[in-house]
Structure 1
Amino acid sequence: MKESEEKAMSLLTTQAVLQVWLCCVSLWHFWVSHAVPLDCKDETGSLTHCTSFSQEKLLDRVIQHAELIYRVSEESCTLFEEMFVPYPLHTLRNQAGNMCHSKPFPIPGSKSEIQQISDTWLLHSVLILVQSWIEPLLYLQTTLDRYDDAPDALLNKTKWVSDKLLSLEQGVVVLIRKMLNEGILTSSSAIEQTLAPYDGQSPEVLESVLRDYNLLTCFKKDAHKMETFLKLLKCRQSNKLSCLSH
């Protein structure tokens, strides 16, 4: 009797994972087909393509990119959790905020702090978060490639997010330039003093799984911050009085 119950539970678990995977594949194709391109660099690497956009239009595109990145990060985290993380360890996602590499960065956290900072610093906070995740996501692509049974949907999502993060960085840099009247800020040197090198060592199997899980969970949290800050900026520029409750 006990053996049959275990088999039934195993079958249910397999079916649940398959359902999550199929859902992710469907959403993946929807997001990719509806994404608006945000490629600001020309053939020489100069950020000229986006400068012709109005500030309002560019902000709208940047927000859409941030929304998509956050949604895909949610699905990636859920898929990874279902596929590789033992159920008793799922509670670790609630502790991830204390272990994120971006925690020491000068990013406003409380509602009062967010209300007090300028629009430019709000964008600068987004840029800090974006640039802080470029290297860790490249590391994550490398580690996921080593998983024997990592689904293509997870690998493709990770690469897609990594690519879109670079596009988001370009858009935010151009936005800051527009707000500073073509200031001298560059995408690579804006926060190089702020970021510490990411330590991508090769831990044991379970440790590696938990580290990757923590990375995905932390990125999802920071991606939500990026989206929230950008939407707050949009709200401020349209009607500042209605944004006091953000």
Structure 2
Amino acid sequence: MAAAVVLAGQMLLRAHSLLLCKGVASTPTCPLSSGCQEPLSALFDRAIHLSTSLHSLSSELLEKFEIKFSKGPKYFIPDINGCHTDAITIPGIHEEVTEIRYKDFIILASCFMRSWKEPMELFITGVKQLPNVQSDILSKAVAIKDQNHELLDVLEKIASQVNPEIKDNGMYVVWIEPEHDMPVSSVPRMRSFYNRIRCLRRDTNKLDRFFKYLKCNIIESAKC
């Protein structure tokens, strides 16, 4: 699998350190019709709730896909080319917290989420063509696509409060699937589907950690 980074405007994807903490999920506290601005802490709670849900869904989807379509213990093997989002610079976990730039973390999270928009749409289209596909596999894939979109919307609201200068620059990693023209049930396509979910599970875990880190370091009252 090849990947190429598309840049729409200049940005810096540099951040140092990533700390873990616990987040508490919540529902929206500011109805859209009210015209009020949802508190930043509530936005982070929503983001953590969604990112945690995305990771759980992707883990369940991977397990169900493997059970349904695997034809042996070594049928699904990790792609030697890794994940398409490997092109995104990943912040170090153990570096100095004082060098962190919250803007960079927000941009990084946005890039991850945008980079999964097309791969999930193509996954859903492809899975619909598979013989005897289980409805829960498709429903989980659709839920992931929808929650990813919702999380991106929440992130944009967080960005506007943390740093109004952060704008939607549309950065993402292009998805390229050489196996796209092969039969949907061919071994290369099936392995491509599997590795896509495997990479998604990895990336949703990173997103969950990103949002927990940001909340712990931006919200003074956060219990981390």
Q: TM-score, normalised by structure 1?
A: 0.69
Per-residue CA deviation, residues 44-87 of structure 1 (Å, 9 max, x unaligned), is: xxxx9897101111111111011111101100000001111233
The one of 167, 172, 176 aligned to 1:185? 167
- Which residue, 90, 99, 102 being the options, matches 2:82? 99
Alpha-carbon distance in structure 2 between the residues aligned to 1:89 and 1:39? 49
Structure with the bigger RCO (C-alpha within 8 Å, sep 6+) is 2
Q: Does 1:147 align with 2:130?
A: yes
Structure 1 distance, partners of 2:165, 2:105, is 16
Q: Would you say 1:196 and 2:174 are equivalent positions?
A: yes
Name the counterpart of 2:54: 69
Deviating more after overlay: 76-85 vs 230-239: 230-239
Whether the aligned pair in 2 keeps the contact of 1:80 and 1:154 (CA below 8 Å) is: yes
Offset at residue 122 of structure 1 (A): 1.4
| Higher mean displacement: 213-222 or 198-207 | 198-207
| 1:89 partner SS | coil
Q: Which residue of 2 aligns with 1:230?
A: 211
93, 105, 116: which one pairs with 1:111?
A: 93
> What number of residue pairs does the alignment pair up?
195
**CA deviation vs aligned residue, 1:184-225 (integer Å, no higher than 9, x gap):** 612xx331xx53354472324111110000000000100000
Aligned match for 1:164, one of 147, 153, 159: 147
Higher helix share: 1
How far apart, in 2, do the equivalents of 1:50 and 1:226 lie? 29
> Is the 2:115–2:175 Cα contact (8 Å) retained in structure 1?
no
CA contact (8 A) 1:39 1:167 kept: no
Q: Name structure 2 gaps, 5 residues minimum.
A: 1-24
Q: Is the 8 A contact 1:97 1:103 kept in 2?
A: no
Find 2:195's aligned residue among 193, 197, 214: 214
- For the aligned residue pairs, the C-alpha RMSD in angstroms reads 3.1
- Show CA shifts across 1:144-181 (max 9, x none): 0011111000001101110111111111111112111x
Please give the alpha-carbon distance, in whole angstroms, between the structure 2 residues aligned to 1:73 and 1:107. Answer: 20
Query: Aligned partners of 1:89, 1:96: CA distance in 2, in Å?
Result: 12
Counterpart CA distance in 2 for 1:80 and 1:210 is 11
Find out whether 1:138 has 2:117 as its counterpart: no
Q: What amino acid maps onto 2:149 in structure 1?
A: L
Q: Which of 56, 64, 73 is the matching residue for 1:88?
A: 73
Alignment partners' CA distance in 1, 2:217 and 2:124: 36
- Among all aligned residue pairs of Structure 1 and Structure 2, give the percentage whose two residues are the same amino acid: 20
Assess if the C-alpha contact under 8 Å between 1:85 and 1:209 holds in 2: no
Cα gap change, 1:160/1:105 in structure 2, threshold over 3 Å: closer, same or farther? same
What TM-score does the superposition give when structure 2 sets the normalisation length?
Answer: 0.76
Select the structure of larger CA radius of gyration. 1
1:237 deviation in Å? Answer: 2.6
* Contact preservation (8 Å) 1:69, 1:161: yes
